[in-house]
Structure 1
């Protein structure tokens, strides 16, 4: 570091220009008389004594008499400790500024806009780590690898994970890494935004990497998340080819979406199947958690199921059940009506539906 630069840094650390000049000069000389130091450091003669007294009070130098006033640099340990402490504070301040700029505190707002994709990924990992019931995500294979450890932990906790992978070809997807990190996966051969939806209440969103506008959206709100949920189902999930399933049978034994349950089960129920359920959800009157166990006795939809083309080779889209979709369960003591996400007319809003027994004729 050049002398001028060192002098400037010492000024930034709290020394006056004259104090910095005198101290740097004294470091080079070791010791000097006040008058010699004034000449060599370009500090005016009338000011040199005040400058030396101030440097001595700060612990930078010590003065002594030898025919005239002399000064020598003090052991620098104290000075170095002070400078390093200041440097650490500046570094901490820089890190804090960077964090505040890139990641506003989510708790201050239900919807936050962030500028860095790394912030979106970190938030997605945190949300998935706190998931209790379900995760829906649309990601590239590279983004999936970054989230995979959090997804594996979620699967181990019993969370249901729907994974939509978007890449140019299926051969870019390693099914060995998909297994154990999701309950179902589909492949979308088109660019897609990054979407992670957790437990019907939290969403991370970012435009796809080729988008002109680069930003991220962090949502901690059920109403906004509901919009992302339907975008995921209709654009990123339902119309794309299945890639992987953890279920041994065509029909899963557990659902987090009542409309998928209605789509899969209603034909069998209409043909006389006896189905028992356990439904974990929220009481729509009290807002408290509620579990319902009993026999399925009715399924209601806005569109008559018979109107759906039974000849089609693939199951109907869940969008065909976007209206009313509800079931009734006989607990033995009463019949409870159960609706899907946002239910208001039913007794319970279902969060997870588990088929506990199934007997078809």
Structure 2
């Protein structure tokens, strides 16, 4: 985990930026005097004493004021994590109880009127992505989200990036995505994360200082796949593929079927042989099925050369007891199997 991601996670636990600086400085020392921490973290000695007491109450440090000068020690990380888990488990019953009493929101929308807020929301959605990310953005706005895209790749997120308003791959775009395409024309800024949440903003909202247009951020179980379908079906095919990253390390277990298909495609093209463990159900009988077989082929419209009949089509053809069967994802109906989980592994 890089430094920026670590800092972001600590801030989610309620750390301010100064508290992060102080705590990371103390971790680097293990144990130190307040004056040493203050000098290295660029804060006052008085602030170190104050924040150390707060961090001690939260289980992150120990303050030994029985010696002179007072020593501040960072608790071992495994103890800190155990303490956080214990706290989380303690409040779980109360959270679950309150959750059952409240109707869960099934859809959420936010209307945005400023460019700065659009970029902020894009950054936040990238930071919280877990499996798959689609993003279109003008070339001159890439720098605003470059660090977050790199961090997403490091987390194993499949990143499909379409850079608009450019004829060539910007040097700054190297290493930002799993698959990168470019298109010289403007298009709406579109983002989806894990088919759950996303954002759509008119092209002029990111290129013009004065516009009356508005962007929409959404969290809707049906809208996410629709936006992905528009991105992959309408815009992705007209763009030019300019960069493809290496496949993920194996074994790789995925519930995101499209990601499994893309990773399998990349592996087959580099290594030539790959197995898959399929867990799901037979579509004609709804009976559960679980088996491991050699992947014979993939069908997809994301990585060139594509071979799908329509852009969002994604499937695996797998050898099952000497017979080739087709495997689709959630909602599959033309394949033989609807997969719930796919594990890609080396052909043994």
State TM-score, norm by structure 2: 0.51
Cα 1:137–1:298 shift into 2, 3 Å: same
Which one of 141, 145, 148 corresponds to residue 147 of structure 1? 145
Cα 1:242–1:353 shift into 2, 3 Å: farther
- Tell me if structure 1 keeps the 8 A contact 2:233–2:311: no
- Tell me if structure 1 keeps the 8 A contact 2:264–2:344: no
In structure 2, what is the equivalent of residue 174 of structure 1? 170
Counterpart CA distance in 2 for 1:217 and 1:126 is: 14
What is the deviation of 1:256? 3.2
- Tell me if structure 1 keeps the 8 A contact 2:136–2:161: yes
- Tell me if structure 2 keeps the 8 A contact 1:259–1:321: no
The alignment partner of 1:143 has SS state of: helix
In structure 2, what is the equivalent of residue 183 of structure 1? 178
In structure 2, what is the equivalent of residue 121 of structure 1? 119
Cα 1:201–1:342 shift into 2, 3 Å: farther
State TM-score, norm by structure 1: 0.49
Q: Is it true that 1:193 corresponds to 2:188 in the alignment?
A: yes
- Tell me if structure 2 keeps the 8 A contact 1:129–1:150: yes
Counterpart CA distance in 2 for 1:256 and 1:247 is: 16
Structure 1 residue runs without a partner (length 5+): 1-106, 268-272, 306-313
In structure 2, what is the equivalent of residue 315 of structure 1? 305
Cα 1:197–1:356 shift into 2, 3 Å: farther
Q: Is it true that 1:339 corresponds to 2:328 in the alignment?
A: yes
Cα 1:194–1:319 shift into 2, 3 Å: farther
Counterpart CA distance in 2 for 1:151 and 1:218 is: 19
What is the deviation of 1:181? 1.4
Cα 1:355–1:164 shift into 2, 3 Å: farther
- Tell me if structure 1 keeps the 8 A contact 2:129–2:194: yes
The alignment partner of 2:136 has SS state of: strand
Counterpart CA distance in 1 for 2:138 and 2:341 is: 27
- Tell me if structure 1 keeps the 8 A contact 2:189–2:200: yes
RMSD (CA atoms) = 4.6
The alignment partner of 1:131 has SS state of: coil
In structure 2, what is the equivalent of residue 229 of structure 1? 228
Structure 2 residue runs without a partner (length 5+): 1-104
What is the deviation of 1:215? 0.7
State the structure with more CA Rg: 1
In structure 2, what is the equivalent of residue 247 of structure 1? 246
- Tell me if structure 2 keeps the 8 A contact 1:293–1:331: no
The alignment partner of 1:277 has SS state of: strand
The alignment partner of 1:200 has SS state of: coil
Which one of 199, 203, 207 corresponds to residue 208 of structure 1? 203
What is the deviation of 1:185? 0.6
